[in-house]
Amino acid sequence: MTPSPAWARALRALTLLAIDPEGLRGLTLRARAGPVRQAFDTALARLPGPARRIHPDIGDTQLFGGADIAATLAAGHLIHSAGLADSPARLILTMAERTPSALAARLAQLLDQSPLHTLVLFDEGIDAEETAPQTLCERLALHVTLDDIRHDAAPALMPAAADLAEARARLAGVTHTPEDIATLTALAASFGIDSLRAPWLALRAARALAASEAHAQVTQEDLREAAELVYPARATQLPQDPEPEQPDAPPEPEDQRQSETPDIPDDLLIAAVAALLPSALLDQLAQRGATRRAAGSGAGARRKAHQRGRPLPARQGAPDGRGRIDLIATLRAAAPWQPLRRRTRPDAPGVIIHAADIHLKRYEDRADRLVIFAVDASGSSALARLAEAKGAVEFLLAEAYSRRDQVALIAFRGMGADLILPPTRALVQAKRRLGSLPGGGGTPLAAALGAALTLARQSEAHGLSPTLALLTDARANITLDGRGDRAEAAKDTSTMARLWRAQGLPAIVIDISARPGPEPAHLAAEMNARHLPLPRADARRISTAVTSALGV
Amino acid sequence: MTAAFPFSAIVGQDDMKRAMILTAIEPGLGGVLVFGDRGTGKSTAVRALAALLPPIRMIDGSPINAERPEDTPDWSTAPLGEMVERPTPVVDLPLGVTEDRVTGALDIERALTLGEKAFQPGLLARANRGYLYIDEVNLLEDHIVDLLLDVAQSGENVVEREGLSIRHAARFVLVGSGNPEEGELRPQLLDRFGLSVEVRSPQNIEERIEVIRRRDAYERDTEAFMVTWQAEDALIRDRILAARSALRTVQSPDEVLRDCATLCIAIGADGLRGELTLLRAARALAAYEGDAAVTRAHLTQVAPLALSHRLRRDPLDEAGSATRIARAMAEVWG
């Protein structure tokens, strides 16, 4: 069995990482756990240098070192424990798509400050919006996607360690021309990659490739392969036809050497990168930058927290660097034992405290609330009252802002429902997307409920408290599989509505039908939601009504 | 630690560079907020600026970088040493940092092992007389933001917790950066930043190539690169130092004050912080350019920096703020 092209690229990326870890900083692997990833993991383990596996829940103390409180207490003097960041290593972060932004920020800082650390992200996300934090991906040169590969297409064929060592020795001698820089930069620009880290990392990759191929100078082939490894995951647009840009691009002051005007990268390069663009490029664009999750202190459900909120009684626990030690409770726990302990250690200074006495502070915090707006933009409602519905949503958005809620926007029309704004606090975006929402087509209500349900479950897993505001006339006429069949559509809608009810999440159905009918009230009853007929031309009143209905 | 990328070698981004130089001349401006995409050189510029600035004189071992022994707080237990020169401190405030790390807290280890009540200084103490840099400031948790606001305004860190009652000087220039797509900054915090800049990657291919070229030269032979740019950096440093001493003598005529006030009224900025910052920034710019008095030309240059984040705005408004200021200037001053 011949290795698949994607696998060959993955091995290539690993080779480059072994040759120039300082320059390339690391690698993002997007693949679900399975034999293929296992094979990759095995190959990764064969890279030279120490490697450490970390997980998204790792504490600050483990990562950056700190006082080892248990050992300190036992010894009676301060004992520091070294963190993983103290010694240069390849950090392998598994389940990177669940990395909290705090850890991502610390790791990014570590990458910026210590050139000897490299980072490998194992991103196991399933949906397009479940991705490793952009702060980290941006800093790592290489991106590899290994889904949809048969495991027998993934033979382990890494270069021998001696070859890698030779290539590393050659790296410093590799030269490149100014034209190479121009080509890579222009190529990045044509794919809409704004960050200037990308061409820089691509240049490093090209040089590592040249070293691995024993070229004395970077060749066109190296450039192409480097671009294939670095650019596809960052692209934000398909290349435009470069011709019209040519006339106004160079301002050409006369001292500028004319020979240096950037040559537009040849079509070959563009085609090579374009072939590797993720299939759902445009879908992913909507997600970019919106991967932020629950921060806390919102209006959502109560949960336990380490740092803030309303205090709860202290509990016994091991200090992990995140919880704060409750000194009073700790002393109170230790006090009754002092005479006994004094007998075994008569010369110990102060209070004798054992690790088991330590109590941690606990707080009750509130999760962020997520308001999912599902807006019916079908023909039946668009004609009548879509504009009014948009007005109402805008009022609700302004309220969400004042409460620091997150919002998400689902629009449904035609054949299905689209998540047009994933959960975010950037309300300007919400407003912009809402304003440009076209109307017309059928009413795929069941699909909309399905999309809202999926989003609600995902956001719950991320610690948000979702609520749904469904603006519809409830005249469903498109089934879940996209056929126009009113009876079937009603049945699907009712199934989805009951699924929502089973989830037990708050919802409100806002009736925007032109003529009053029984459907919205019926739908609301099935979802166990409040039913609220949209008052004519009074967006402010609806906003008050929704706020009180959602119980805030 | 390798040498920081030279400040003068940063291609383009003139607004950002100007704003940073102004805060270096007049720390009272209240910091800079840099909003823009990733990979536009925000953190490079902050670190470059710190490397550019002259070192501060401080007592070795002082937890708050104090220059005089009497400034050293009484809770400090570390032995004080000689006067030393240290580079201007730049302290990174990472996301997800705990309150204890920021303000300082009871030293738990000492408390438990020695039974002593001792204070362990936090990041604010380390940032005194330097820069506090917050990347992704818009994602910082609200309770940390509240705390920073208070300290940044008063210049003093007050810790009243766990039986400690401690205060120490914490005067620093706040530099925040972030990506507006990822979330808004609370208006309260927005207002505390003196200047704000929006950066984006250069849209000109030629400029972009120059960025990569310089970066490449820097990485390949750092020393040679530093030598090339040292002269330029020294030039900027001298101008900053000269401007610092000239700052007191720069005149601000009454008509300039009137200009500030009318502009701020025209754009509807809340409070008087807008006028003050505008005037201070213009004065710093005049000092930097070696002029004896502030003129309208200076105001025009700094008005977008000082005012664009103070426009009264609706959370849903999306009009470009720099254009609104330019329009207001054209209307008010003719």
Residues of chain A in contact with residue B38, where contact means CB-CB under 8 angstroms, are 134-135, 138, 195, 197
Strands A118-123, A302-305: pairing is unpaired
CA B12 from centroid of its chain's CA atoms: 19
Looking at beta carbons, which residues of chain A come within 8 Å of B100?
324
**Cα–Cα distance between B105 and B125 in angstroms, integer?**
11
Q: What SS3 state is found at A361?
A: strand
Q: How far is A205 from A212, CA to CA, in rounded Å? A: 10
Contacts of B1 in chain A (CB under 8 A): 113
Give the pLDDT mean for A78-107.
81
Q: Where does A173-241+263-290 sit in CATH, by number? A: 1.10.8.80
Query: Which superfamily does A1-159 belong to?
Result: P-loop containing nucleotide triphosphate hydrolases (3.40.50.300)
Domain boundaries, chain B: 27-199, 248-333
Which residues are CB-contacts of B114 (< 8 A; sequence separation ≥ 6)? A349, A350
Q: Does B156 touch chain A (CB under 8 A)?
A: no
Which residue out of A63, A196, A255 would a mutagenesis test of the B interface target, given it has the greatest number of B Cβ atoms within 10 Å?
A196
Q: B40–A325: do the CB atoms touch at under 8 Å?
A: no
Rg value, chain B, Cα: 21
Closest CA to A238 of A183, A265, A275: A275
CB A34 within 8 A of CB A151: yes
Least Cα distance to A513 among A376, A392, A410, A397 occurs for A376
Virtual torsion, Cα A76, A77, A78, A79, nearest 10 deg: -80
Whether the predicted model's global pTM rises above the 0.80 cut: no
Q: Give the gyration radius of chain A's Cα atoms.
A: 29
Q: Residue B181: what pLDDT? A: 67
* Residue B99 burial (CB count, 10 A): 18
C-alpha B214/C-alpha A203 separation (Å) is 13
The string of DSSP letters for B103-170 reads HEEE-HHHHHHH----EEE-HHHHHTTEEEEETTGGGS-HHHHHHHHHHHHHSEEEEEETTEEEEEE-
Band (pLDDT 50/70/90 cuts) for residue A285 is: very low
User: What DSSP element (H or E) covers A514?
Assistant: none
Long-range contacts of A65-71 (CB under 8 A, 24+ apart): A66/A321, A67/B108, A67/B109, A69/A319, A69/A325, A69/A355, A69/A358, A69/B108, A69/B109, A69/B112, A70/A318, A70/A319, A70/A355
pLDDT digits (tens, 9 = 90+) for A191-243: 888 888 888 899 989 999 999 888 888 888 888 888 888 888 887 777 654 44
> What is the pLDDT confidence band of residue A249, given thresholds at 50, 70 and 90?
very low
Task: Please determine, for residue A281, whether its predicted confidence score (pLDDT) is greater than 80.
Answer: no
Considering only residues A392 and B235, tell me which one the structure prediction assigns the higher pLDDT: B235
Look up residue B203 and give its two tokens.
């849209």
Contact A428 B318 (CB under 8 A): yes
Rounded-to-integer distance, Cα A534 and Cα A386, Å: 11
B273 tagged catalytic: yes
- CATH 3.40.50.300: does it fit domain B27-199? yes
pLDDT of residue A287: 43
Give the pLDDT confidence score for residue B287 in this predicted structure.
Answer: 92
Closest CA to A26 of A151, A123, A102, A98: A123
pLDDT per residue as tens digits for the range A495-534: 888 888 888 888 888 887 777 778 888 888 888 888 877 6
Taking a contact as any Cβ pair under 8 Å apart, which residues of chain B between 263 and 322 contact chain A? 314-318
Q: A1-159 and A369-549 share one CATH topology?
A: yes
Q: Give the pLDDT score at A246.
A: 38
Each residue's pLDDT tens digit, A133-178: 888 888 898 888 887 777 776 676 777 778 888 888 888 888 888 8
Query: Which DSSP state fits A486?
Result: H
Domain ranges of chain A: 1-159, 173-241+263-290, 302-366, 369-549
Angle at which helices A445-461 and A486-503 cross, to 10°: 20
- Whether A384 shows a pLDDT value over 70: the answer reads no
**The pLDDT of residue A288:** 42
pLDDT digit string (tens) for B137-191?
877 777 787 788 778 878 888 888 777 788 888 888 888 888 776 666 776 677 7
From chain A residues 107-166, the ones with a CB under 8 A of any chain B CB are 108-109, 112-113, 115, 134-135, 138
Residues 20-79 of B with CB under 8 A from A: 37-41, 43
CATH of B248-333, one of 1.10.8.80, 1.10.3720.10, 2.40.340.10, 2.60.40.1180: 1.10.8.80
**Which range is most confident: A2-6, A417-421, B114-118, B288-292?**
B288-292
pLDDT at B49: 85
Q: How far is B113 from chain A (nearest CA, A)?
A: 6
pLDDT at site A302: 56
Structure tokens of A348? 């110990």
| Mean pLDDT value across residues A94-123 | 84
**In contact, B199 and B41? CB cutoff 8 Å:** yes
Contacts of A425 in chain B (CB under 8 A): 182-184
Cβ-defined contact of B184 to A401 (cutoff 8 Å): yes
Q: What is the pLDDT of residues A18-63, one digit of tens each?
A: 888 888 889 998 888 888 888 888 888 888 788 888 888 887 777 8
Third-level CATH fold of A369-549: Rossmann fold (3.40.50)
Taking an 8 Å cut-off on Cβ atoms, the answer to whether B183 and A308 are in contact is no
Cross-chain residue pair B318–A77, CB shorter than 8 Å: no
pLDDT at A487 over 60: yes
Name B210's Cβ contacts closer than 8 Å, sequence gap at least 6. B11
Indicate which residue of B215, B273, B296, B313 is catalytic.
Answer: B273
In the structure, what pLDDT confidence band is assigned to residue A282 with cuts at 50, 70 and 90?
very low
- Residues of A with Cβ-Cβ distance to B200 under 8 angstroms: 194
Q: CB A76 to CB B40 under 8 A? A: no
Q: What is the pLDDT of residue B100?
A: 78
Amino acid at residue number B164: L
ipTM of the complex: 0.75
> Residues 104..133 of B with a Cβ closer than 8 Å to A: which?
106, 108-115
Residue A257 confidence (pLDDT) above 60: no
The H or E element containing residue A507 is strand A507-511
Is the pLDDT at A289 greater than 50, yes or no?
A: no
Chain A positions in Cβ-Cβ contact with residue B2 (cut-off 8 Å)? 115
Q: Could you say which residues from 186 to 225 on chain B have a Cβ atom under 8 Å away from some Cβ of chain A? A: 200-201, 204-206, 208-209, 211-213, 215-216, 219
| 3-class secondary-structure state, position A255 | coil
Backbone angles phi, psi at A346, to 5 degrees: -65, -25
List pLDDT tens digits, range A66-76: 667 777 777 76
Note whether B141 contacts A297, CB cutoff 8 Å.
yes
The one-digit pLDDT tens for each residue of chain B (334 residues) are 467 788 888 888 888 889 989 988 888 887 888 888 777 788 788 888 888 888 888 887 777 787 777 777 777 777 777 788 888 888 888 776 777 788 887 777 777 667 677 788 888 888 888 888 888 887 777 778 778 877 887 888 888 877 778 888 888 888 888 877 666 677 667 777 888 888 888 878 888 888 888 888 888 888 888 888 888 888 998 999 899 898 888 888 888 888 888 888 888 777 788 888 899 999 999 999 988 888 888 888 888 888 888 776 554 555 567 777 787 888 887 7
Answer for the pair A412, A448: CB distance below 8 angstroms, yes or no: yes
B32 SS3 class: strand
The C-alpha of A261 sits at a distance from chain B's nearest C-alpha, in angstroms, of 7
Least confident of A177-186, A261-270, B255-264: A261-270
Taking the C-alpha atoms of residue B137 and residue B178, their distance in angstroms, rounded to an integer, is 6
- Distance of alpha carbon A428 from alpha carbon A426, whole angstroms: 5
Longest dimension (CA), chain B: 70
Which candidate from B94, B99, B205 shows the least CB-CB separation from A249? B205
pLDDT, position A2:
63
What mean pLDDT comes out for the span A80-95? 83
Return d(Cα A485, Cα B4) in angstroms, integer. 66
Geometric angle at alpha carbon A330, from A328 and A332, rounded to 5°: 70
Are A78 and B109 a contacting pair at CB < 8 A? yes
Residue B162's Cβ-count burial label (10 Å; 0-12, 13-18, 19+) is: middle
